[in-house]
Amino acid sequence: MLSVTFLGTSAARPTVERNVSAMALVREGETLLFECGEGTQRQMMRYGVSFALSEIFFTHFHADHFLGVIGLIRTLGLQTRAEPMRLYGPKGAKKLLNQALQLGVERVPFEVEVQEVKPGDVITGGNRAPRTAYDIHAFATDHGGGSVGYALREHERPGRFDPDKARAAGVPEGPLWGKLQRGEAVELPDGRNVVPEGIVSEKRRGRIVVFTGDTRPCAAVVDAAQGADLLIHEATFGEEEKERAKETGHSTAREAAQVALAAKARRLVLSHVSARYSISADELVKEAREVFKETVVAKDGMTIEVPFAD
Ligand SMILES: [Zn+2]
Ligand SMILES: [Zn+2]
């Protein structure tokens, strides 16, 4: 199971329909939070996202992306949380987040560790919560001053096991099948050796989910999103405001679609939309689909499942 739930999809400020940026990614029961705009904790309650999370990833420190962490950490403290929390963000994260965490509360009753990341970093989760089945990669974005995006990349999975071929090779059903499935050669009771090749297919790649945060369309995002199962790209503006997008370090829906196309992504979700598209973002979807058909626009509370490609 891998899914993302959009908690806030509005650029710069909340509207009646949309809150500011935050997205929960749930994988095999584990919840990761990307961005934490003001009011995120209430959106989590509203849309059933677990508070039992231990990592929050920030792309940059414009107010609409992080102010919610102050209230969220306070609420977690009131719930007598004991587990530590890790916050990740680009250069400046330590100073800024540590200041934010001291606002309005005497002491956070659990450990909060801030880790600064830079493009190219693979965020392992450290000793406490080592990741075994996937990694989070930080990549450069173009939003003026050290912003990053994040890509979740699952490790390769074993190839597909063909029971008929195993039987034909004389391998009895049982533990030996499991060994073959894991890519190991097995020795049969009659002494013959059987290798997995021909019985188990090539390893299959894991899923890739890419979250850009605020950015101009750029090559670094295209690289990070190569073959992504899901690309979540900001699309603050429509075509008629493409100059404004350029001036403010944002993307149009069409530009986001061009990135998805260049990256050969499977699906594109547009988010972080300007207040003028708060009620209807159909125009953004229409413009993007002219370039990249598999496009939808996020709205608050929307959950998208990410299935395996094979
Ligand atoms: Zn923003
Ligand atoms: Zn921004």
Query: What pLDDT band is residue 115 in, cutting at 50, 70 and 90?
Result: very high
- Which protein residues have a CB closer than 5 Å to ligand 2 (ion)? 62, 214
Ligand nearest to the CA of 22: 1
Does residue 210 surpass a pLDDT of 90? yes
Torsion sign across C-alpha atoms 89, 65, 145, 207: positive
Does residue 310 surpass a pLDDT of 90? no
- 80 residue type, one letter: T
Cα–ligand 1 centroid distance for 238 (angstroms)? 16
Radius of gyration for the chain, computed over Cα atoms and rounded to the nearest angstrom = 22
Cα–ligand 1 centroid distance for 145 (angstroms)? 14
Q: The pTM is what?
A: 0.93
Ligand nearest to the CA of 143: 2
Cα–ligand 1 centroid distance for 66 (angstroms)? 10
Q: Note the pLDDT of residue 132.
A: 85
Mean pLDDT of the chain: 95
Segment 117-134, tens digit of pLDDT: 999 999 987 666 678 899
Does residue 59 surpass a pLDDT of 80? yes
Cα–ligand 2 centroid distance for 73 (angstroms)? 22
Find out whether 158 and 203 touch, Cβ atoms under 8 Å.
yes
Active-site residue, 223 included: no
Ligand nearest to the CA of 234: 1
What residue has token string 């809150």? 19
Instruction: Give the helix ranges, DSSP H, for the chain.
Output: 40-46, 63-66, 68-78, 93-101, 163-168, 175-181, 219-224, 242-248, 253-262, 282-289
State the catalytic residue, choosing from 64, 214, 229, 300: 64
Ligand nearest to the CA of 37: 1
Cα–ligand 1 centroid distance for 65 (angstroms)? 6
Q: Note the pLDDT of residue 128.
A: 62
How many angstroms separate the CA atoms of 32 and 55, rounded? 6
- Which protein residues have a CB closer than 5 Å to ligand 1 (ion)? 62, 64, 214
Residues in the chain: 310
